[in-house]
Structure 1
Amino acid sequence: MHLNILALDLDGTLAKDGIVADETWQALRNMKAAGFVLILVTGRRLSVIPGIGPFDEICEAVIAENGATIYFPRSDTTVTPFGRLAPEVIQKLEGLGREIEFGVAIAATWIPHDREVLHILSDTGYAATVEYNKGAVMILPPGATKGSGLKYALEELGYSTRNVIACGDAENDRSMFEQADLSVAVANAIPAIRDLADTVLNQPNGAGSRQMMGQLLAGKIPPYRCRPQRRIQLGQNTEGDPVCLSPFNLLDSNWGIVGSSGTGKSWLAGMIMEQLLRIGYQVCVIDPEGDYRSIRAFPRTIVLGSDFSSPPSVGDVITLLEYARVSIILDLTLYKRDEKITYVREFMQALSGIRAKRGLPHWFLIDEAHYFCHTEGEHLSDLFLENAQRGGFTFVTYYPDALPKKLLQGIDHWMFTQINHQATINVLRKNIRPQEKSCDLDELRQLNARELYLCLGDTPQLSAPASGIVRLDGVNRSTQHVRHLHKYLLAPLPTDKQFYFHVSAPDPGVRPAASLWEFRQALPKLPVKTIKFHLERHDFEKWLTEVIHDDELARQVRKLAGRPVKDEQLKEALAATVANRFDELESLI
């Protein structure tokens, strides 16, 4: 399970009437003993926390004063990452003679004294944030919130917000919920927080917190709703309804992507990977054939290995994953078979430490998994299984027959592209888990090029999609599949695949385009009549789709053809569209 960091509010969440029950303290100790990272996030002043209980013994950070003041028990240091209120503001607040409390970095009062506070801030001109919470009025340094304080503490400790489950009850927990990967409201939470939360517990205060911790200790996530902006889009079912997965399904369980050669397995895996990267997860790909190089176009994503004579050091890769927080594609294309297997074995052995310590990377993709799981790779299969116990592994293969039975049976969910061999279907039927037996594997031979079959096991995702055929209508990759790029950008095509331009009279300057490069070079030289002829017949779209395999460029050309642009302007627009797309694709290889 990737959610190994628990950010907890105090009043109304852990505590009731300012008191944390003995049972709650024990639950917190059990979580710490199980390896969870605990962080207290409260609006209370830092000075009062020790009087409530031994949070410094249990938590890796105490985020107090609504995020403005952070204490790190291990190093016994206190920081105010957003600064403090200006002395002139503090002096004027002290002069009010009202019920005002001062912390390390903030001041606090109660409604209706907020009017005087706002007047002071307006009068002095100093920047500050005013936040309301259950009638309390907190005056904070600019930028200080529970969410920003949590983010700062996580960065200092070397953790990711994508591993955080946050639990709270009131207005000032909103920013913390927005940072966390899963937000949980206790039953007594105010309506606005209940509406914002991914899941709402059926117990209040400490009882609710204990309920959640008990589920996490059992390796379970409370049933949750997936935020729309976090959904992984797969396509549409046969009824035309969208089919979406929660990323937790990918991060907390193991998947198999299986299909015959050339049926789009790597394309599908890359499409899922791109969406995970957009959401902010860290991914790692074992890429033995160089199918994922183009994804380096995403920010904080790098390719290692393809341009070197030997694999990058496993230690260096682990360091990059842990501290640089980049996603890594390990391209092993140029390495010999035994070198690939040895390298991946060493990598898997080193991986367990960072997974246990940091919960990183969030998702692993093992492409051509059969390559590593033959008889000689039995030890490597065991390492895959060992690391996959935490979930987050996806195995891609056209040859599941070569995967050990224990590995096949360790897969929770499946995606299938077309499978042409009945023997492969028989292997799957014998080895998939009982809860997936309802999947109709006989349909796999009938799938077309733009369909997959989703076989989903048990999941805590509310409104999870049903198993069945998924049509990839409207779903595209942001980056082009590399195997197409290498083949069609510059390399000459066979004569029967080249594009032959229609001209009214023989013209030695107009030659067939044998690659996308030659197509780009030819367009500015062609007569407008030739361009309009091919656009009206959709010849360019057809060639770009069926030969060049660039659906995105074909879409752009089709869009251009439908615009009311005339003659030379049309020619210039088409030439620019193709040139821009070529430059974009060339930068990916």
Structure 2
Amino acid sequence: MTRRDIPLGFRADGTELRIPPVGSNLLIAGTSGSGKSSLAHGLLERLSDCGYQVCIIDPEGDYASVDQVIVFGNPQRGPSIEEVLTALDSPTAQVAVNLVGLPLKDRPAFFSDLLPRIQERQAQIGRPHRILIDEAHHLMPKQWEPASELTGRMTGMIFVTVHPEEVSSGVLRSVDAAVAMGEDPARTLGAYAERVGLSLPAGSWTLDQGEAVVWPVRTGGMPEQFGIAPSRGERRRHLRKYAEGELPQDRSFYFRGPREELNLRAQNLMLFCQLADGIDDATWLYHLQRHDYSNWIEGSIKDSDLAGIVRDVESLPSLSARESRLRIAQAIEARYTLPASGAQS
């Protein structure tokens, strides 16, 4: 049954790309800064939202911001295996094992002791449903060997790495689907394929930020480009950027007025509301009647829902300048939690 599958992202035609919530193993690989963490965070959040338990092995403390996760270990103190296992007793607990407090040389040994204990529990009661291992090339390098027969039968795993070619071939052979991100996804998938003796289907992909290529290896499918479904944390960062950050000049809004006597730049939504409150009615109505506000929000803020609300306001000629200002400011504030503006004046 596929109705419980978890969204991974969206194809070019807008349809969802999904993966099974349990069982299959996923590799997420790509260059630094390519969006691996955003993809992994979003996937973990959606698993948790659907009632699945996750356990994250986090060598660098990158997953503390995942919603609802309980973190064991911090920079001053390493985690203990018993506290992790005790937390996993609760079916609603989402657990991150932060290894930053352990000396670098001790992390592989701790991981080799911890993983079989988690997998033993997984085999007995089916939880945790997913185990994510970040920096897999460090914890499961080329020479890595399973500590037990159970460890060799990995299931429900998510491996995240910058260097798939440095990961144990036994680990890579367990992968059901491989995701590549960054500047050269063909090279990343090729490195994975070479390690496991597969032939990568011919293809060339140029990815923008927030895009990836997935290769469904186990089913023999073709690699497919898609847009990743971002995490809530990523969406919150975008909200802050548009609310309070600084858009480039070519994406800012400019209040110019009917005779272009003004040149007031709004590089974010907060400044837009402040400037809107201070300009004269003629300037405000000039841009309103031209649908400049909704076009800017659609094209530069990339928020089609808010643009639709603003477009409706622009399409009501009976509204006064004061009332249209107020409605648009309230719509922006409701979506971006801005401080209350003085748009009621």
Provide the TM-score with structure 2 as the length reference: 0.70
In 1, the alpha carbon distance for the partners of 2:204 and 2:177 equals 15
- Residue 561 of structure 1 is matched in structure 2 by 310
Write the distance in 1 (CA, Å) between the matches of 2:275 and 2:8. 36
Cα distance change of structure 1 residues 564 and 485 upon mapping to structure 2, 3 Å threshold: closer
Residue 315 (structure 1) shift: 2.1
The alignment status of 1:502 with 2:255, answered yes or no, reads yes
From 213, 216, 231, the equivalent of 2:5 is 231
Do 2:34 and 2:182's aligned partners in 1 also have CA atoms closer than 8 Å? yes
Aligned-residue offset at 1:392: 0.4
Q: Which residue of 1 aligns with 2:164?
A: 400
CA distance in 1, matches of 2:271, 2:101: 31
Equivalent in the alignment of 1:454: 214
| Cα distance per residue 1:418-469 (max 9 Å; x no partner) | 55176544422312465xx4x52x425445556543322446xxxxx94331
Kept in 1, the 8 Å contact 2:29–2:188? The answer is no
| CA deviation vs aligned residue, 1:298-335 (integer Å, no higher than 9, x gap) | xxx22415876334443222211113631124456788
Q: How many residues align?
A: 325
Q: Which residue of 2 aligns with 1:258?
A: 29
| Equivalent residue, structure 1, for 2:342 | none
Higher relative contact order (CA 8 A, sep 6+): 2
The SS at the match of 1:273 is: helix
Residue equivalent to 2:40: 269
Instruction: Report the Cα distance in structure 2 between the residues aligned to 1:390 and 1:476, rounded to whole angstroms.
Output: 26
Shift of 1:346: 4.9
CA distance in 2, matches of 1:238, 1:395: 25
Instruction: Give the 5 Å matches for 1:4-23.
Output: none
CA distance in 1, matches of 2:23, 2:166: 25
Structure 2 match to 1:571: 325
1:362-373 map, 5 Å = 362-373=129-140
Q: Structure 2 stretches of 5 or more lacking a match?
A: 339-345
Contact 1:291-1:482 within 8 A present in 2 as well: no
Distance 2:310 2:105 in 1: 51
Where does 1:110-509 land on structure 2 (aligned, <5 Å)?
225-226=1-2, 228=3, 230-234=4-8, 243-247=17-21, 251-288=22-59, 292-296=63-67, 301-304=68-71, 309-323=76-90, 325-330=92-97, 337=104, 344-374=111-141, 378=143, 382=146, 387=151, 389-418=153-182, 420=184, 424-432=188-196, 437=199, 439-440=200-201, 442-449=202-209, 451-458=211-218, 466-472=221-227, 476-477=229-230, 479-481=232-234, 484=237, 488=241, 499=252, 501-502=254-255, 504=257
Q: Measure the CA separation in 1 of the matches of 2:110 and 2:239.
A: 26
Q: TM-score, normalised by structure 1?
A: 0.45
Paired residue type of 1:266: S
1:446 to 1:358, Cα distance in 2 relative to 1, 3 A: same
In structure 2, give the amino acid aligned to 1:408. Answer: L
1:15-34 deviations in Å (ceiling 9; x for gaps): xxxxxxxxxxxxxxxxxxxx
Q: 2:40 is paired with a residue of what secondary structure?
A: helix
What is the letter of the counterpart of residue 256 of structure 1? Answer: L
Candidates 514, 539, 545, aligned match of 2:296 = 539
Larger Rg: 1
The 1:233–1:424 alpha-carbon spacing in structure 2 relative to 1, beyond 3 Å, is closer
1:564 aligned counterpart, secondary structure? helix
Structure 1 residue 572, shift from structure 2 partner: 3.3
Distance verdict in 2 for CA 1:334–1:390, change over 3 Å: closer
Match of 2:341 in 1: none
Q: Determine the C-alpha separation between the residues in 2 that align with 1:483 and 1:336.
A: 33
Are the aligned partners of 1:322 and 1:354 in contact in 2 as well (CA < 8 Å)?
Answer: no
CA distance in structure 2 between the aligned counterparts of 1:393 and 1:482, rounded to whole angstroms: 25
1:305 and 1:241, CA in 2 relative to 1: closer, same or farther beyond 3 A?
Answer: closer
Please tell me whether the aligned partners of residues 287 and 367 of structure 1 are also in contact (alpha carbons under 8 angstroms). yes
Whether the 8 Å contact between 1:322 and 1:358 is mirrored in structure 2 is no
Q: Is the 8 A contact 1:370 1:403 kept in 2?
A: yes
- Cα distance, 1:506 vs. partner? 6.5
For structure 1, which segment, 283-292 or 528-537, has the greater mean C-alpha deviation from structure 2 after superposition? Answer: 528-537
Root mean square deviation of aligned Cα: 4.5
Per-residue CA deviation, residues 549-575 of structure 1 (Å, 9 max, x unaligned), is xxxxx2332232332355444433443
Structure 1's unaligned 5+ residue stretches are 1-224, 460-464, 546-553, 585-589
Task: Give the direction of change, closer, same or farther, for the CA distance of 1:350–1:520 in structure 2 (3 Å limit).
Answer: farther
